[in-house]
Amino acid sequence: MKGSIRIGSVRGLELRAHWSVPLIMLLFAYGLGSRTLPAYAPGQEPLVYAVAGVAGALLLLLSLVTHEAAHALTARRAGIPVQDMTLWALGGLTRMSRPTTARSAFTVALSGPLASLLLGGAALGAAAAAGASPAWRIPTAVLWWLGGTNLLLGVFNLLPAAPLDGGRVLQAALWWRTGDRDRGQRAAGRSGQVIGMVLAGAGWLVFVRGNPGGLWLVLIGMFVAVTAGAERRWAELHAALRGVRTGEAMTSPVVTAPDWLTVDRFLTEASGVTPQARHSAVPLVDFDGRPSGVVRPARLASTVPPERRDELRIRDVASPLSRCTLATADEPLSGVLDRLSPESGLPILVTDGGRLVGIITAHDIERLSKRPGTGRRNPESPSTDDAMS
């Protein structure tokens, strides 16, 4: 996620935090220290409330880390590659490859809410035990707040709405019952759009009745609805491309550029005289004619200062081959799309024996998905997902 930095690791998995995390933690600490604790345990010094508020916010942050770590470690035990975990204003995000079976998808999705519910129960139990002592009123109040927040987090995440964990559980259940992953994802997406709009509407009613906290529910609801819509469209695209091979979607021959050109020379040649000007992404080839990366002319012109363009070579500022998505012409296109990530996304470079034979851009995929008969050309052939499961 853009705007995030590495803050540590959990069992060898990178943990990152978005810039919004300190802001939301300060808001939690302020609310706990200025309203919740004084109402539960009045008569304390302001410093006591402030310290307890910060401690409660940090414990909640650890709870969110535990929630995401449960997802990541469960996925890793199931053999699913995990890239990293990122905390942000609306919770957390664990980046991993798509589960290959409905069972693994179900267990990974359920592990996070289960961890939150267990933490919530443990915190409430500790609060009940500590509540018997008057000297522990402040820690008890923090534990009650922490337990209730974790229970709310666990229950909320179990709503059957993508991209919430409950939406993943619904998708996995429908996948197991029907054998069709895309059908489950479409259903979870539709449910997410409906529930997201309901949450946004409820939040707006709360806000107009005088509670500013309703705006937070509006934000969450809109996020759920928009993300669910995007996941539903992705599932529909994935289903439309079922049975299509990569070679059928690629553009060939490919316009390439030598990677040893300077930035200045490349931009001069791509200024309108050569075919590069018509392409948003241009593959680079080395002296042996093998692909070495991808450069985007528009981005290149805006990021490289004019005074350095005659000394930098485009291979030094291009996306290297290690961050490109590679495929062979006979691979199922749906399986290749599953491998896309923010680091190695479109375009897809199609190779044969190490030589570049084609390229697939977003335009190619959109064009193919709208072609009559796409997705029904070989109905007896399973998709990559079905074959792996």
What are the residue numbers of the active site? 68
The secondary structure of 331-351, three-state, reads: CEHHHHHHCCCCCCCCCEEEE
Let me know: does 161 contact 167? Beta carbons within 8 Å: yes
Residues sharing a CB contact under 8 Å with residue 83, sequence separation 6 or more, in sequence order:
14, 95, 96, 341
Please choose, from the candidates 249, 250, 252, 233, the residue with its C-alpha nearest in 3D space to the C-alpha of residue 377.
Answer: 249
Other Cβ atoms less than 10 A from the Cβ of 211: the count is 13
| 293, containing H or E segment | strand 291-295
Give Rg (Cα) of the chain.
25
Q: Which stretches of the chain are DSSP H helices?
A: 20-31, 37-40, 46-77, 102-130, 137-157, 165-178, 181-208, 214-240, 246-249, 263-269, 297-303, 314-317, 333-338, 362-369, 384-388
Is the bond leading into 347 cis (omega within 30 degrees of zero)? yes
| Residue 324 φ then ψ, to 5° | -110, 155
Per the DSSP assignment, residues forming a β-bridge with 94 are 85
DSSP annotation of 382 reads P
| Closest C-alpha among 319, 325, 350, 349 to residue 337 | 325
If 0-12 CB within 10 Å is exposed, 13-18 middle and 19+ buried, where does residue 186 land?
Answer: buried
Q: What backbone phi and psi angles, to 5 degrees, belong to 370? A: -95, 0
**What is the number of other CB atoms lying within 10 angstroms of the CB of residue 42?**
8
Q: Residue 10: phi, psi to the nearest 5?
A: -130, 110
Asked if residue 38 has a cis previous peptide bond (ω within 30° of 0), the answer is no
